[in-house]
Amino acid sequence: MTHQPKVSVIVPVYKAEKYLHRCLDSILAQTMADFELLLIDDGSPDRSGEICDEYAKKDSRVRVFHQENGGVASTRQLGMDNAQGEYSIHVDPDDWVEPNMLEEMYGKAKEEDADVVMCDFKRIYADHQYDFIQRPTTLKCDDIIEDLICERIWGSTWNKLVRCSLFKEYKIRFVPTMNLQEDLYITCALLQHSIKVSYINQSLYNYDCDSNENSIVRFRTVSHLQSMMRFIDDFSPIFDEPRYEDGWYMRKCTLKRWIYRLNPLEYNIRKTYSDINDRYIAENANAKIGTEPFYISLCLKGFPIRVVYTLQYLVGVLANLKNRLLTKFAK
């Protein structure tokens, strides 16, 4: 009978050669040795795939899978499809973990017979770092969902140890077309069911906010908008309760802001989630001219986007002229 590892650690790899060694070394240095490490090379054009193969040659716990570039969701799913562990957790290649992460999280899972174990994490910047506490309001699934939607805690898969059998039991899979919030989607899908969640008040994961210039948190694209829309469209009907109203409002506001910045002609700001327009206009009634809420409010009131953009441009020109004059006369 083939031995089942306690944990499957899944690392989606893309353009990560600069920091991949740091990540993988931290995983292989775990105080708990009974785990497997699945490295999923997402068609990376740099040496990341070669580095993965080098680690597999040195440690029998490492398995490598190479695929054509398909995005982070398909990469995570390939890892899940091949995971043999009792539990699984994802680690991003630009981050690293504490030596006792697996021991602490797996120990908690077994101690409390938990389906999911959450932990805190550190946010690491070039000049500082701090603990990001992820304590949920309660450990009830409904309350955790509310915390997630309202962004009181993160939906990431890298600070959550999850019982692998849940994915098959509830037919939960990553959505291939989602390249943003794919982890939040999975977390909410799991929490729809009566599962047991535990929490560890320790920062066991290190989230590097600076090193990866390719990180999706640094920019947005139209495909990111589509992923955000997919999350809202799929889950807001399911979680249609007054307790989630402010969370959905906040997420829809965020979408309108990014639509305004990226593609207001294809995605009509006024028609996209029109249910929140009146509230947005009311709450931003005193927004100063020149601020983004001011321009978005104009769009929601029916002003053509080209008119709003022209106004924004003219206001910018006048502000620049004012600053130049003030600088000149200050001399």
Q: Where are the alpha helices (DSSP H) in 136-239?
A: 141-149, 165-169, 182-191, 222-235
Q: Are 273 and 255 in contact (CB under 8 A)?
A: yes
**Distance (Å, rounded) from C-alpha 308 to C-alpha 301?**
11
The residues with which 40 forms a beta bridge, in sequence order, are 12, 65
Taking the whole predicted model, whether its pTM rises above 0.85 is answered as yes
The domain locations on the chain are 7-218, 222-330
**Mean pLDDT for all residues in the chain:** 94
Nearest to 226, CA basis, from 264, 177, 156: 177
Span 219-267, pLDDT tens digits: 678 999 999 999 999 999 999 999 999 999 999 999 999 999 998 888 8
pLDDT in the model for residue 72? 95
Cite the beta strand spans of the chain per DSSP E.
7-13, 35-42, 62-67, 87-90, 96-97, 116-124, 129-132, 160-163, 197-208
Range with top average pLDDT, 136-150, 252-266, 310-324: 136-150
Nearest to 247, CA basis, from 258, 231, 263: 231
Residues in contact with 223: Cβ distance below 8 Å, sequence separation at least 6, in sequence order:
177, 179, 180
pLDDT in the model for residue 216? 52
pLDDT in the model for residue 326? 74
Residue 270 vs residues 70, 297, 311, 323: alpha-carbon distances, Å: 32, 9, 18, 33
Q: Are 141 and 227 in contact (CB under 8 A)?
A: no
Residue 299 tokens, joined? 């769009």
The residues with which 97 forms a beta bridge, in sequence order, are 205
**Distance (Å, rounded) from C-alpha 251 to C-alpha 228?**
8
Into which CATH architecture does domain 7-218 fall? Alpha-Beta Complex (3.90)
pLDDT in the model for residue 260? 94
Section 304-323 average pLDDT: 88
Span 67-109, pLDDT tens digits: 999 999 999 999 999 999 999 999 999 999 999 999 999 999 9
Nearest to 13, CA basis, from 108, 95, 123, 128: 95
**Residue 331 in this model has a pLDDT that exceeds 70:** no
pLDDT in the model for residue 212? 58
pLDDT in the model for residue 323? 77
Q: Are 256 and 296 in contact (CB under 8 A)?
A: yes
pLDDT in the model for residue 246? 96
Residues in contact with 133: Cβ distance below 8 Å, sequence separation at least 6, in sequence order:
120, 201
Residue 189 tokens, joined? 């899908």
By three-state DSSP, how is residue 205 classified?
strand
pLDDT in the model for residue 215? 55
**Distance (Å, rounded) from C-alpha 177 to C-alpha 174?**
9
